[in-house]
Every structure is written in structure tokens, then in C-alpha cells.
Structure 1
Amino acid sequence: MSKKLFGLLLIAAMIGIVIAGIVKNNIENTSEFDNIALGSDVEFLATDEGLAKGKVAPDFELTTLDGETVSLSDYQGKKVILNFWATWCPPCRAEMPHMQKYFEEQAKEENVEILAVNLTTEDRGIDKVKTFVREYDLTFPILMDLEGEIGASYQAVTIPTSYMIDTKGRVQNKIVGPMDETMIEKMVSNLE
């Protein structure tokens, strides 16, 4: 067997091992979610933080565009749409009118709060954020992630990324990409 053929076989075997590991991890995560979705008797404690479905969303404290300091835990007892975005992001621009319309027309009666976390370290400055908020006439809280720590901890690599958090503070869904009103309504209807 030539050295080239042996090298190619070795590389193919290594790729196969990596793919098998990824598939196994995905299968394990899926079955964990299926158990939770089927209503297993899993008890979630406040210390059981994480981003997986059913975990308590990690608490954080950020300042709003208006200068108010808020924590995610301030909204315990409400359903929360936690949205990560930037002004330069076309899909973020596409979903903002839908989120605003939902916020104006349905959020209060559905006990929903929208928290839009601007990834300020990835954006073009606070003045651009203020202009964006005025342009879209946004009235829900705009939180400023000035250091990028919250976006990183919530793994908001692709934006927009949104988390649906139930009244107990548990993550129920993660949406990567823009949402429209129908999608928001559907996601919120699945929250307790």
C-alpha cells in the first residue's frame, strides 16, 4: 500500500470518528429533550442553569438603552423572549417589526416580555442603536451587552438568536434566525 493511500485512509478514519462523536452527542441531547417534552418528573432547581431545554436560563444584569439596570430574574413569572441582535444584521431588521407588533398587540395579555439584547461589541456604537430604535419605533426594553459577555454565554454566534423562557425561568426553545408574528405566537403558546 502506498504512503498516499495509507494517509488518505487514516484521514478518512479520523473524520469518521469525529462525525460519529457528533452524531452520538446529538442523539443523547435529543433523547434528553424528548424526556422533558413528554413531561417526565424532572425537577429543575434554580442552580440547574444552562441553555439546554428545561434548564434555568442563566441570570444576567445589563443596562437598557434608557440607562435602567435590569436582570433576567426581574422577569420571573413572565414568559420572556430573549432576543440577541445588531443594527447591521438584515434578518434582525426583518424581524423587529414583527416583534414590535406582537409586543403592542399581544404581549401584555399573554404575560410576555421581550428583552432585545444588542450585541454592542459587534455593533456600530450606541448612536446607531438609538437611531435604529427610533427608526423601528421599538418600545420593548433594549439591553446593551457592552462587553459581549451575555451574547457569548448565550452562544449568540449567529444573529438573530432568540430564547423562549417560561414563567419559571426555564429555557424552552432556541430560535436561530428571524421570527415573524406567527412563529412568535406559536412559540409563546408552548410556554407555561
Structure 2
Amino acid sequence: MKFLSVILVWITFAAQAQVPVREIPSDYGYIVKIGQQAPDFSAQSLDGKTIRLSDLKGKVVMLQFTASWCSVCRREMPHIEKEIWQKNKNNPDFALFGVDLDEPRETVEKYTKQIPVTYPMLLDPKGNIFYSYAEKGAGVTRNVIIDKNGEIVFMTRLFKEEEFEEMKEVIKESLFK
């Protein structure tokens, strides 16, 4: 009976767990905020599909903003591939998209093969998607985590190991919410 009580307490605690809200430093250059609905967009993937963010409601979505010339992106992407994409790609409640800032398809195809990453890449030809999340002139290495309700729950800037680990935890918690 005591074992059952412990399980019930744990289940109740887990059901009430909230993804922690953290303050985003102002120098990160975001124009969106934690708790806000993610700006909707529509984009072409490398395989020619049209992806609309609003169609992904009900899923936890990770947007990884990147560009081929970004050395920090290139350093972070293998970690995203191994530690996030490979572990969650078969989960129907999860979606991950790299969003390439203003580069031609051929460039994006070439550098994603060089790294290599297998998660889907979206083309952002004039940076309209990027600049609906970040200030003009802001650096490209950043990730945005969106919960199942379409709200932004976590954002990163550059590739910082502690922040990356926290992001993985937020994704995991958001999937079980």
C-alpha cells in the first residue's frame, strides 16, 4: 500500500510539473518572449514540402536557426543531431527543423551533408522567419523551443553546454506535459 501511495504522489507531482520560465538576457537579440505564441510561418523544406508552424500545434517544436557560414552553428549541429534528433525523431509529438538564414538550397544541402545532420532543414530566403524571432543584425546561432500549445518555452543563443543541457530537459518535460 505504501508503494502505491508513493507512485500516486509521484504521478501527481509529474502531472503538475511546469516547464521553468527563465529570463532571457537582453543581449540575446530576441524580439519574442517566453510564454508568447510563436510567430507563425510557412517555409519550404529541402525535400520540397511546405511546412507551416501552425500545422504543428500539438507537437513540441524545436527551431534551430543556422547558416553555413556560422562556425558556432556547425559546432552545435552534431550535438542537436545526436542528442536531440536521434533520440526524438520517432516521437510523433516532436518536430525539429533547422531554419537556414537566407542561403540557396544548394548551399544548405552541401553543408548539412558535410556536418552531417539528418533533421529537416527549412529555407528562409530573405530571413523573414528569423527576423520574426530576432532583431535585425542579431547573430544566427539560436534555438527556440515551442510547446504543444504553440507557446515559446525556451530560447538559446550561441552554443553553451549548460544552456544546451537545460534545453534538452525542457524538451523532455514539454513532451510529457
Q: TM-score, normalised by structure 1?
A: 0.66
Larger radius of gyration: 1
Amino acid at match of 1:82: L
Secondary structure, aligned partner of 1:178: coil
Cα deviations by residue, 1:68-98 (Å, 9 ceiling, x for unpaired):
1110112111111111110111110011111
1:16-55, aligned counterparts within 5 Å? 51-55=32-36
1:135 equivalenced with 2:114 (yes/no): yes
Aligned length: 143
Structure 1 Cα separation of the partners of residues 149 and 140 of structure 2: 25
Alignment CA distance shift 1:79-1:179 (3 Å) = farther
- Equivalent residue number for residue 89 of structure 1: 70
- Equivalent residue number for residue 56 of structure 1: 37
- Can you give the 5+ residue segments of structure 2 that lack an aligned partner in the other structure? 1-18, 22-30
Secondary structure, aligned partner of 2:65: strand
- Can you give the 5+ residue segments of structure 1 that lack an aligned partner in the other structure? 1-35, 39-49
2:143 corresponds, among 142, 145, 162, to: 162
- Equivalent residue number for residue 101 of structure 2: 119
- Structure number with higher relative contact order (C-alpha < 8 Å, ≥ 6 residues apart): 2
Contact 2:66-2:101 within 8 A present in 1 as well: yes
Contact 1:83-1:162 within 8 A present in 2 as well: yes
Q: CA RMSD in A?
A: 2.4
* Identity within the alignment, %: 29
Contact 2:101-2:140 within 8 A present in 1 as well: no
1:74 corresponds, among 46, 55, 71, to: 55
How far is the alpha carbon of 1:62 from its aligned partner?
0.5
Secondary structure, aligned partner of 1:186: helix
Contact 1:98-1:179 within 8 A present in 2 as well: no
How far is the alpha carbon of 1:146 from its aligned partner?
0.6
